[in-house]
Amino acid sequence: MSDSMIRNCPWGYSCTKEWADLIDTRDEDIRFCTDCQKEVHWVDSREELAESVLLNRCVSFRALLIDSTLVGEEISGEGDGSVTLTGLATPDILDYEPTQGTKKDYDPLNDFDDDDIPF
């Protein structure tokens, strides 16, 4: 199993790119994918993951955020043995209700905080 998988790829499939394959940007939590020409955001919490689903962002995250059974010796990951997932962030990855602080009324025509421009 690859140690990363892309979530929220615009083509609607799990990408084979790993976080390390993506181009660094000025923000250490955002990298750029040359295949789909999109920013990929690193998320560290289920809240950030839920917000990314609402914002339709490409994300990369440790699988441990959604499935604690993915930790083990057979998985090659960083540090804690968890696998990193990257790609299509859809509501079904979370049996989770977003908490306060997430944007429930995101308007893609007026909210421009994710412009997909590489820096």
Mean pLDDT by 10 residues, the chain (119 residues): 50 69 92 87 86 84 68 41 53 49 48 46
Which pLDDT belongs to residue 30? Answer: 93
CA distance 22 to 47: 23
- For the entire predicted model, the pTM comes to 0.56
| Dihedral angle sign, alpha carbons of residues 97, 100, 106, 111 | negative
Which pLDDT belongs to residue 67? Answer: 66
